[in-house]
Amino acid sequence: MEGRILAHLDIIESVYGIEILNKSRIAQWIEEITDDDKQALAIATALNTWIMMNNTGPGLEIPITVLEQIQANLMSKSR
């Protein structure tokens, strides 16, 4: 699944003309918290939105707190 996640992150980079500096760690984190393709796509889609709103330059590091918030939101919606 990590390959599919990285591919999605590659597309985000291409669309916004940025480099996600911690892309490998983000993909690993998503793979660690879910083995469900649909949930992984939901996380990547949420990251896409966050990047769109917070893109300030060519290099972007996604804070772990953003990932934790996305995870918490997904968990609350799945109840």
Q: φ, ψ for residue 30 (rounded to 5)?
A: -60, -45
Count of structural domains, the chain: 1
Q: Check residue 48 and give its pLDDT.
A: 95
pLDDT in tens, 14-71: 999 999 999 999 999 999 988 888 999 999 999 999 999 998 889 999 999 999 999 9
3-state DSSP call for residue 18?
Answer: coil
Q: Are 67 and 31 in contact (CB under 8 A)?
A: no
What is the rounded distance in angstroms from the CA atom of residue 4 to the CA atom of residue 8? 6
Residues spanned by the domain of 32: 2-77
Q: Are 62 and 49 in contact (CB under 8 A)?
A: no
Q: Check residue 79 and give its pLDDT.
A: 57
Judged against a pLDDT cut of 70, whether residue 78 lies above it is answered with: no
* Prediction pTM value: 0.85
